[in-house]
C-alpha cells in the first residue's frame, strides 16, 4: 500500500514539470463580439461569465490550472473552444460563418451542452438558469437574423 502511494506521489511530482502555457493571445481591438455588437450589459455579463474563459482570448486561469493533470484538461478545452468559436476575433469571420456560429450558439445553449458541465467546478456563477438561457437564445437569434439581413444586400 505504501509503495502505491509513493509511486503516485512521484508520478504527481514528475507531471508538474509539464505545465501549460498560460499566455493569452495578444488582444485584437475592434474584433471582439461584445464590442462590435454593442451587446446590452446584462447579456454581455452572461456571455463573458459563462463562455469567455474557453471562447475568447481573455481566459482567466483558475488555481487548478497550476497543477497537472487538471491543467492539461483545461488547456485542451481552451484550445478546442477557441478553435470552434473565438469571440475575441469574431469580426474576422466571414458574415456567413458568423451567422453559422450564432446558429450553433443557439443550439448549444438550447440543448444545455454549453457551458461544458465540467466548467461548473469552481465556476458556479457560470451556471445558467432557464430564464438566462432564454435571454441568450433570443439575443443570439436577433444577432443571427441581423447578420443574415446584411448578407442579403
Ligand atoms: C469549459 C470550457 C467551455 C465553456 C465555458 C464554454 N464552451 Fe463552448 N465549447 C467548448 C469546447 C471544448 C468546444 C469544442 C467542441 C466540444 O467539445 O463539444 C466548444 C464548442 C462550442 C461551439 C461549437 C459547436 C460546434 O458544433 O462546433 C459553440 C457554438 C459553443 N461552444 C458555444 C458556447 C457558448 C455560447 C458558451 C457559453 C454559454 C460556451 N460555449 C461555453 C468549451 C467551452
Separation CA 96–CA 12 (nearest Å): 46
Query: What's the 63 CA to ligand 1 centre distance in angstroms?
Result: 21
- Residue 41 banded pLDDT, cuts 50, 70, 90: very high
Neighbouring C-alpha atoms within 13 Å toward the C-beta of 63: 3
Q: What pLDDT, on a 0 to 100 scale, did the predictor assign at position 128? A: 98
Q: Closest residue (by CA) to atom 28 of ligand 1?
A: 105
Separation CA 16–CA 94 (nearest Å): 41
- For ligand 1, whether the C-beta of 81 sits within 6 Å is yes
Q: Give pLDDT tens digits for 81-132.
A: 999 999 999 999 999 999 999 999 999 999 999 999 999 998 999 999 999 9
Q: Closest residue (by CA) to atom 10 of ligand 1?
A: 81
Amino acid at each position: 500500500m505504501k509503495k502505491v502511494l509513493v509511486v503516485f506521489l512521484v508520478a504527481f511530482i514528475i507531471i508538474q514539470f509539464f505545465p501549460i502555457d498560460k499566455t493569452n493571445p495578444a488582444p485584437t481591438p475592434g474584433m471582439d463580439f461584445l464590442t462590435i455588437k454593442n451587446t446590452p450589459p446584462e447579456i454581455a455579463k452572461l456571455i463573458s461569465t459563462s463562455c469567455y474563459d474557453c471562447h475568447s482570448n481573455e481566459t482567466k486561469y483558475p488555481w487548478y490550472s497550476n497543477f497537472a493533470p487538471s491543467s492539461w484538461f483545461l488547456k485542451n478545452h481552451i484550445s478546442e473552444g477557441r478553435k470552434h468559436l473565438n469571440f475575441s476575433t469574431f469580426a474576422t469571420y466571414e458574415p456567413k460563418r458568423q451567422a453559422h456560429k450564432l446558429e450553433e450558439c443557439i443550439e448549444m445553449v438550447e440543448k444545455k451542452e454549453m457551458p461544458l458541465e465540467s466548467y461548473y467546478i469552481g465556476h458556479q456563477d457560470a451556471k445558467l438558469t432557464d430564464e438566462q438561457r432564454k435571454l441568450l437564445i433570443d439575443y443570439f437569434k436577433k444577432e443571427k437574423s441581423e447578420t443574415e439581413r446584411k448578407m442579403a444586400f
